[in-house]
Structure 1
Amino acid sequence: MSDVTSESGSEQVKMLSLTEIRPNPYQPRKNFDRDKLLELSQSIVEHGVLQPIVVTPSIQGYYIVAGERRYRASEQAGLTHIPAIVREMTDHEMRELAIIENLQRENLNPVEEAESYQQLMEAHHMTQHAVAERLGKSRPYIANMLRLLKLPTSIRQLIREGTLSGGHGRTLLGLRDPKKMQQYADLAVRESWSVRYLEQRVAEAQPSSTTKTPSASTKKPQLIRQHEQQLSEKYGTSVDIATKRNKGRVTFTFHSEADYRRLIQLLKKQ
């Protein structure tokens, strides 16, 4: 490590040897676009590292807290040292900052974004409301993004790659049956369906989704379906409302113990 070279606000910027630095074990992002990494590497060769990375001391050197792309690109550029801000941080703080830094990337795909919200909730026992407040977003927005994690892995991968959008993914959830979701996802990709056209096709598929044709008296009224949709978006999970005469039930679906605790916390606030 070389001497202090400059200051950033009240924090000192040091030149650290790349051999002293290791990736953050809590980094939520596992895949880095090779072409964009090469582009950044070429920029570093020409202009240098314009923004210091953030690291925290470890037993053997330093862990990266924020700026792993700059670190990797600097390696590719052949640098031996990189400007860094050294902060003393707990594991809890390091994990949270890594997730938030990941969320601030402009090219984050919808599934990566949803996974980051889920990690914040599980690692720090945060509710959707708390995550929304922490990041300056609305709770329904967080809930809608988290719904993407209920999609089959193969469809989530299509969204990661940009082949399908987050809007396509949320629309496919209306089919409920994973096999049908995959069938319509494949059609949407092959025939370049817009989200609006996919919505129409999914709506058309609903009456034929059961083996028996329901009579007019057993079909759900439009108002009930609207209430299901409103509750689903509010609580970030699928909701079923069943009515018979003057009685009925409202069913919330949860997919893990953490999801169950989240729902209970939200319902207690009402």
Structure 2
Amino acid sequence: MSAAETTPRRRASLGRGLDALFGEADEADIAAAGTPESHRAPRSLPVEFLSPGPFQPRRKFDEAELDRLVESVKAQGVLQPILVRPVEGKTDRYHIIAGERRWRAAQKAKLHEVPVVIRPMSDREALQFAIIENVQRQDLTALEEAEGYQRLIAEFALTQEDVSREVGKSRSHIANTLRLLDLPDTVLAMLQDGLLSAGHARALLGCPDPEAAARKVVAKGLNVRQTEQLARDGRDQPPAPPRPVRDANLVALEEDIQRRLGFKVAIDATTKTSGVMRIHYADLDQFSDLMRRLRG
């Protein structure tokens, strides 16, 4: 779908989020989108007809929360229909746009069918709707949210302003969330696993060494305010002096002596003609063995 094809009226319905997903949008909007009458009302489909969509931004499902939902589904069934779109070129196959957690719970509850609303839509709309639903329900981690916005920008040539308008979030929120992707992968993994909050991650963006700072935050259980202070302290410290490059001949000599003696050896040259050689031993038995070797 081109930008020209996306009218202001259509954008407004997307920005309204879940109301637009499940039939509370204006009838004129739905009719204009070309959705058949039979697809507008909820219907039941076998669970095996459904599969997770390729545009689902959520990667992490809390098992405890899912188990609680399973008990609710066993007692009352799936109360809110699952939003799906037909899989192109396949009969009776649908990708889930919103409601994957309910679909998973239904399978665990041994349900054979689930209520669905079928909405033909473009790839761009599918990603937008998935992000809207998850963000409004606060189901996404900060990393998943950032990756969803990045996909909208990269795959559909949107600007941050476009994304802001489409998902109903401020331009500054979009920008600050996207900045999290600048953190090292190790820090992003901590964010995804819940070891760091979005507030922690934003504070770490100002650290000279975000990975080292993140490990300290997790190890000491620092809160966001303390993490911000840690970042300020790191910026105020002078950079560590570069390590001196060791003479390659000395390194080779150390390795040769270590092979001959079987002990770790360190040579420090204080001048061109003098220095100190240290031989390391781990216990008294090694020391006795070393003395025997030195005495010949």
TM-score relative to the length of structure 2: 0.63
The equivalent of 1:183 in structure 2 is 212
1:60 aligns with 2:91: yes
Matched to 1:60, the amino acid is T
Residues 118, 83 of structure 1: alpha-carbon distance in 2 compared, 3 angstrom cutoff:
same
Instruction: State the Cα distance separating 1:8 from its structure 2 match.
Output: 5.4
Q: Which has the higher strand share?
A: 1
Query: Could you say what secondary structure the match of 1:51 adopts?
Result: coil
Contact 1:20 1:60 in 2 (8 A): no
Match of 2:192 among 134, 148, 160: 160
The equivalent of 2:104 in structure 1 is 72
Residues 208, 15 of structure 1: alpha-carbon distance in 2 compared, 3 angstrom cutoff:
same
1:96 aligns with 2:125: no
1:24 aligns with 2:24: no
The equivalent of 1:196 in structure 2 is 225
1:114-153 equivalences in 2 (<5 Å)? 114-153=146-185
Instruction: State the Cα distance separating 1:40 from its structure 2 match.
Output: 0.8
Matched to 2:187, the amino acid is I
Matched to 1:128, the amino acid is Q
d(CA) in 1 for partners of 2:188 and 2:225?
19
Query: Could you say what secondary structure the match of 1:114 adopts?
Result: helix
Matched to 2:224, the amino acid is V
Matched to 2:225, the amino acid is R
Instruction: State the Cα distance separating 1:48 from its structure 2 match.
Output: 0.8
The equivalent of 1:105 in structure 2 is 137
Instruction: State the Cα distance separating 1:60 from its structure 2 match.
Output: 3.4
Match of 1:45 among 70, 74, 78: 74
d(CA) in 1 for partners of 2:154 and 2:198?
22
The equivalent of 1:264 in structure 2 is none
Asked which structure has the greater CA Rg, the reply is 2
d(CA) in 1 for partners of 2:163 and 2:124?
15
- Structure 2: runs of 5+ lacking an equivalent: 1-21, 28-39, 242-296
Query: Could you say what secondary structure the match of 1:201 adopts?
Result: helix
Instruction: State the Cα distance separating 1:209 from its structure 2 match.
Output: 4.0
1:202-241 equivalences in 2 (<5 Å)? 202-211=231-240
Question: CA RMSD for the aligned pairs?
Answer: 2.0
d(CA) in 2 for partners of 1:33 and 1:46?
20
Query: Could you say what secondary structure the match of 1:206 adopts?
Result: helix
Contact 2:217 2:227 in 1 (8 A): yes
d(CA) in 1 for partners of 2:168 and 2:226?
32
Residues 203, 82 of structure 1: alpha-carbon distance in 2 compared, 3 angstrom cutoff:
same
Matched to 2:41, the amino acid is Q
Moved over 6 A (4+): none
In the alignment of these two chains, the number of paired residues is 203
Tell me the alpha carbon deviations over residues 185-237 of structure 1, each in whole angstroms, 9 at most, x when there is no partner: 1111111212222222222222334247xxxxxxxxxxxxxxxxxxxxxxxxx
- Structure 1: runs of 5+ lacking an equivalent: 1-6, 213-270
